[in-house]
């Protein structure tokens, strides 16, 4: 699952050398004493939150999913088994892959629930951002970017693969573990996703150029 290991202490996935997770000691400590879960939580909070946010597009829903993910991970940690291959070295860990798989499933559960009981935030209904929601405002501005919009339009696993690769900075091998696909399949997913994004962006650029040219012509007239 974690790809081929070429040398001790590092994992080489499709040419890129990524440091192996240093989680094994942390995971063992947390399994022995649940209060020691905190370092793992702090380490992966932002990544899990990012995945949830880019999947759901809502700050509050992302927090909800993040919370559930970590609570479930803490509850399931005593039963978590290290499945990294023996030859992956003493530092190899599949904890991160396991955690993201939990997150992915919690997101899927959340989506199902939302589909059954659709709700809309009041701010969205009013078309304004909450005045005290600084983060929400920043995110809303970033959402305006064409790249973000192109990613949002990608189908399920392609979008997930792009977010995991570009936002959470996971390796292809780790994404393969999370999406339960082969590394080759993930590479193809990413390649196709990039193609779609490139098409969207060039279309967007063309539109912007034509608008700009039209404006200049009108100005000259």
Partner 1 sequence: MILQPANLDAMEVDALQTDRYLDALLAAVERRALDVPADAAVDPTLRRAARRLRDELVRTHPSFRFEERLARRLADAAVRMRLATAAGGEAEAALIPFPTPLLADPTLAAELANPELAALLGLGDAAIESRAEAPVDSHVAVPGRPTATAPADGLAGLAAPLRPVVARPLLVGGALTSAALSLAGAAFVAWRLTRGAPADPMARAVRAARAAREAAAVTTTRMTAVAASATTHPVTARTARNVATAGSRHRRLA
Sole binder of partner 1 in the list 88, 151, 176, 178 (CB under 8 A): 151
Half-sphere exposure of 31 (CA within 13 A, CB side): 14
CB-based burial label for 206 (10 Å; 0-12, 13-18, 19+) = exposed
Minimal distance in Å, beta carbon 126 to partner 1? 22
Q: What phi and psi values does residue 3 have, to the nearest 5 degrees?
A: 85, 180
- Asked if 197 interacts with partner 1 (CB under 8 A), we say yes
Residues 12-71 that bind partner 1 (CB under 8 A): 14-16, 33-35, 37-38, 41-42, 45-46, 49-50, 53-54, 62-63, 66-68, 70-71
Which is closer to partner 1, CB of 90 or CB of 208? 208
Which is closer to partner 1, CB of 88 or CB of 154? 154
Query: Site residues (CB under 8 A) for partner 1?
Result: 14-16, 33-35, 37-38, 41-42, 45-46, 49-50, 53-54, 62-63, 66-68, 70-72, 74-76, 78-81, 98, 101-102, 105-106, 108-109, 135, 138-139, 142, 145-148, 151, 162-163, 165-167, 169, 172, 184, 187-188, 190-191, 194-195, 197-198, 201-202
């Amino acid at each position: 699952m974690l790809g081929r290991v070429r040398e001790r202490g590092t994992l080489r996935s499709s040419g890129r050398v990524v440091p192996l997770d240093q989680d094994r000691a942390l995971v063992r400590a947390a399994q022995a004493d649940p209060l020691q879960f905190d370092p793992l939580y702090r380490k992966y909070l932002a990544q899990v939150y990012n995945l949830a946010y880019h999947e759901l597009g809502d700050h509050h829903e992302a927090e909800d999913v993040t919370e559930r993910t970590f609570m479930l991970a803490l509850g399931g940690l005593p039963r978590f088994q290290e499945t990294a291959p023996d030859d992956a070295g003493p530092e190899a860990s599949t904890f991160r892959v396991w955690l993201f798989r939990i997150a992915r499933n919690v997101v899927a559960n959340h989506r199902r629930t939302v589909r059954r009981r659709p709700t809309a935030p009041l701010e969205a209904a009013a078309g304004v951002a909450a005045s005290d929601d600084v983060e929400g405002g920043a995110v809303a501005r970033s959402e305006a970017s064409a790249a973000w919009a192109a990613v949002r339009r990608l189908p399920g696993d392609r979008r997930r693969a792009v977010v995991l690769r570009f936002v959470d900075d996971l390796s292809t091998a780790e994404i393969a573990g999370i999406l339960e696909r082969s590394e080759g399949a993930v590479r193809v997913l990413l390649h196709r996703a990039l193609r779609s994004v490139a098409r969207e962006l060039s279309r967007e650029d063309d539109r912007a150029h034509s608008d700009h040219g039209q404006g200049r012509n009108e100005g000259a007239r």
